[in-house]
Structure 1
C-alpha cells in the first residue's frame, strides 16, 4: 500500500483525527472546569483517568457520526497509530513527578507531553496542521510552567481551547 493511500484511509476512517481532538478537548474542558469550580483534585483525576478512555470514546463518537469504517489490515500506518497511543501513558511518570515537585505544573506537563505526542500525527494523517497543534501545546506548557508557576488552572483551559479549536479546523479537512 502506498503512503498516500494509507494516509487517505486514516483521514477517512478517523476524520483526520478531528473526532479524537474533540473528545480530548472535552475531557480537558471538563477537567479545567472542575479544577476551577470544584477542586484541583477533581480536575487532576478527570484528566488523568479521562485520558485513558479517549480512544474508546473516540471510537463510539465515530460510530455515532457514521465514520465507523475499519482500517484495512495491510495499512502500515495502523502500527504507527498503536505506537503513538502508548506515548502519553508511558510519560505519565513525568507528569506525576512534575505534579509532586509543583502541583501547578500538572497541566503544563500534560501540555508538553500531549503536544509532543501529536508530532507523528503529521505523518499519520498527512497534514501539517498537527505541527501547529504540537508546537502550540508544547510552547504553551513551557510558558505557563515558567511564567505562571503559582497558578494551577491556566494550562487546563489552554489545552481545552487548543484541542477544541484544532478539532474544528481538522473537521474541515476533506479526506483525499
Structure 2
C-alpha cells in the first residue's frame, strides 16, 4: 500500500478526524464549564481523566454511526497512530509542573501539548487542516499563558470551540476539495 492510499484509508475510517475532534471538544467543553462555574480541581480532573477515554469513545461513536472503529491490524499507519497516541499522556508531567507553578497555566500547557500531538496527524491523515488546528492550539496556549496568566478557563473554552469547529468544517468540506 502506498502512503496516499494509507492516508485515504485513515481519513475514511476516522471520518477525517471529525468524530475524534467532536469527542475531544465535548470533553474540553465539559471541563471549561466546570472550571468556570464549579472549581478548577473539577475541571482539571475532568479533562485529565476523561481525556484518557477520547479514543475509546471515538471508537464507540464510529460504531454507533455504523462505521469501522479502527484500521486493519496490518495497516501501515498503525505504528505511527500508536506513537502519536502516547504524546499527550507522556507529557502530563509537563502539564502538571506548569499547573503547580501557576494553576492558570493548566489549559495553556495542555493546549500546547495537544497542539504538538496534532502535528503528526498532518502526515497520518494527509490533511493540512491539522496544521491549522495545531497552530491554533499551540499559538493559543502560548498567548493565553502569557497574556492572561491570571485567568483559568479561557483556554478550555478556546480549545473546545476550536475542536468542535474543526470537526464541523472537515465534515462539511465538499468531497472534491478533500485530498
In the superposition, the TM-score normalised over structure 1's length comes to 0.96
The residue aligned with 2:157 is 157
The residue aligned with 2:123 is 123
SS in 1 for 2:14: helix
The residue aligned with 1:54 is 54
Matched, 1:35 2:35: yes
Q: Would the aligned equivalents of 2:122 and 2:130 in 1 still touch at CA under 8 Å?
A: yes
The 4+ residue runs of structure 1 with deviation greater than 2 A are 172-176
The residue aligned with 2:112 is 112
Q: 2: CA distance between counterparts of 1:73 and 1:99?
A: 38
- State the 1:145 CA deviation: 0.2
**Which ranges of structure 1 fall in alignment gaps of 5 or more residues?**
none
SS in 2 for 1:68: coil
Label 1:35 to 1:70 Cα distance change in 2 as closer, same or farther (>3 A): closer
SS in 1 for 2:152: coil
- State the 1:30 CA deviation: 0.2
The residue aligned with 1:44 is 44
In the superposition, the TM-score normalised over structure 2's length comes to 0.95
Q: 2: CA distance between counterparts of 1:6 and 1:74?
A: 11
Label 1:100 to 1:120 Cα distance change in 2 as closer, same or farther (>3 A): same
> Deviations 1:134-176 (Å, cap 9, x if unpaired)?
0000000000000000000100100101010101112235476
**RCO higher in structure (CA 8 A, sep ≥6):** 1
The residue aligned with 2:73 is 73
**Which ranges of structure 2 fall in alignment gaps of 5 or more residues?**
none
CA RMSD of aligned residues (A): 1.2
Q: 2: CA distance between counterparts of 1:32 and 1:69?
A: 28
Q: Would the aligned equivalents of 2:13 and 2:68 in 1 still touch at CA under 8 Å?
A: yes
Which stretch of the first structure deviates more once superposed, 64-73 or 128-137?
A: 64-73
The residue aligned with 1:170 is 170
Q: 2: CA distance between counterparts of 1:159 and 1:70?
A: 25
Q: 2: CA distance between counterparts of 1:37 and 1:70?
A: 36
- Aligned length in residues: 176
The residue aligned with 1:138 is 138
Label 1:100 to 1:35 Cα distance change in 2 as closer, same or farther (>3 A): same
Q: 1: CA distance between counterparts of 2:41 and 2:69?
A: 38
